[in-house]
Chains A and B, each alone.
With several copies, the nearest count.
Chain A
């Protein structure tokens, strides 16, 4: 070690470790909740401050009070819930099918070299195709039916899901795959028992992105078929825009945002349980 590595002179430090404090579950919950509450309060305050500053007239940028008033008004109508329910149902149906298709395509492309070479790079091409480009095809194939909407949602979400899975499979540790092969797992069994579980974290990431794509495609797709007066969220959003109704638009944005947050918490729970299993939790970075 000699001279090159001569230790720099440091005053002795004391690294002292003492037991970690334990907290009650009530306090833990509060610890999870208050930052969110604070963030919301902060945003509302800022928003209100901008409104009060008179930067824009209130019909262009309405204040929180007006928007939440409007939202409360919306929430007071059964119609509104029916509309949200319609949208959510469409989202779930489209998303479920997209998950199925995306997974199968993802596995096939990952597994079959020929297929990967043939269509692997088409995935991002498909993903970057805006929903409206599919509208004419959707109508051609499914006429003016809900299925046209579902079609657009699937085309939006499935590539992201396939991409997530493909990325996960590509980054599986080769050692684990070798373990599987040595244990006699080949072909689909190798996938089922080793590759897919190992790719799960990335797949969940893809599912999350897929949801966002599905949802955004749906918001556009709901304008394809306006079947009835039970206004879906996408329609409402478009009408708010057509009517330049800033209050309504903001109220709807809040609804969409909240739905996104709720869905996120589902994915987060899934992700946490995976990380728990894999022993990726607790190591505070």
Chain B
């Protein structure tokens, strides 16, 4: 136990030789194989990888939703997961979805409403509090899901392509917002994206996944000063390297 506590001082999240196999048609499909990675407390790590390379699978295992076929995944502290789909509860309003997260976290009823509205304001959704999911656009749903994930106020935040449905401008604003929140708390973030520039924009490190089965093929330390701009040439260079590596991965293993 003491060893674990000690570890937790440094690592918020550690994955060791994780393998995940899905049975299908009598065969096994390996989504992850021997994946190993570690994320320190307060770190913001981005994961990029080809479609189907097991990124979502990894997050699901880390969130405790699925059991791996073998290997270990530790998360120290409370976890929040923002799913790839918005996955809002259809019978609750936008605010209701956020309030539920607050309620389950134990926030008193008196504060919930106010806090939920504040969180929705942060994702630029004021005025849409009372709408139900089916009345929201794709990007709006994703932003509600972000507000809900933030509402959990977890120690570790797992995000699965959270800004995929957003236009460049809104995405930019939310990058800043996320960075600010991360700066202010000791939040640990594992951020999955398919956009190399976004990964470099946000991450302390970027992990490039191999194609299926997923494993860390390359680790890129991003040492650019923050705040970074998506359009800066230095960022573009690093992103280009990552994209190349990804291309190499996909060509060598076939997709």
Contact = CB atoms under 8 A, between A and B. Distances in A.
A4 B111 contact: yes
B153 A182 contact: no
Contacts of B135: 279
A1 B181 contact: yes
Contacts of A15: 64, 73-75, 79
Interface in A72-114: none
22 contacts: A1-B153, A4-B111, A5-B115, A6-B153, A8-B106, A10-B77, A10-B155, A13-B78, A15-B75, A17-B64, A17-B73, A18-B68, A20-B69, A174-B134, A179-B83, A182-B63, A182-B80, A184-B78, A184-B104, A189-B104, A194-B89, A279-B132
B105 A178 contact: no
A179 B76 contact: no
A175 B111 CA distance: 28
Nearest to A194: B89
Contacts, number: 121
A140 interface: no
- Report which residue of B76, B104, B181, B187 has the largest number of chain A beta carbons within 10 angstroms of its beta carbon: B104
A4 B111 CA distance: 9
Contact-residue size bin, chain A (C-beta under 8 Å from the other chain): 35 or more
Nearest to A197: B91
Contact of B74 (A1, A7, A16, A183): A16
A181 B66 CA distance: 11
A279 B133 contact: yes
Contact of A185 (B70, B104, B148): B104
Nearest to B80: A182
A115 interface: no
A12 B5 CA distance: 7
B85 A175 contact: yes
Contacts of A18: 67-68, 72
Interface in A255-285: 274, 277-279
A37 interface: no
Given A183-B152, A184-B104, A178 B68 contact: no
Given A10-B77, A278-B90, 7 more contacts: A5-B185, A7-B185, A13-B76, A178-B60, A189-B104, A198-B91, A279-B133
Interface of A: 1-2, 4-8, 10, 12-20, 174-176, 178-179, 181-185, 189, 193-194, 197-198, 200, 274, 277-279
Contact of A279 (B66, B80, B85, B134): B134
Nearest to A177: B65
Contacts of B63: 182
B102 to A, nearest CB: 9
B110 interface: no
Contacts of A17: 61, 64, 66-68, 72-73
A68 to B, nearest CB: 44
Contacts of A179: 83, 87, 89
Contact of A13 (B71, B77, B152, B184): B77
B67 A197 contact: no
A189 B105 CA distance: 12
A175 B83 contact: yes
A15 B65 CA distance: 11
B8 interface: yes
A12 B115 CA distance: 25
Nearest to A186: B104
Interface string B126-168: 0000001111000000000000101111110000000000000
B4 A12 contact: yes
A8 B152 CA distance: 11
A219 B69 CA distance: 52
A4 B79 contact: no
Q: Which 8 A-B pairs have the closest CB atoms?
A: A279-B134, A12-B8, A12-B76, A182-B81, A20-B67, A1-B181, A5-B153, A183-B104
Interface in B88-104: 89-91, 100-101, 103-104
A19 B65 contact: no
A270 to B, nearest CB: 13
Contacts of B134: 174, 278-279
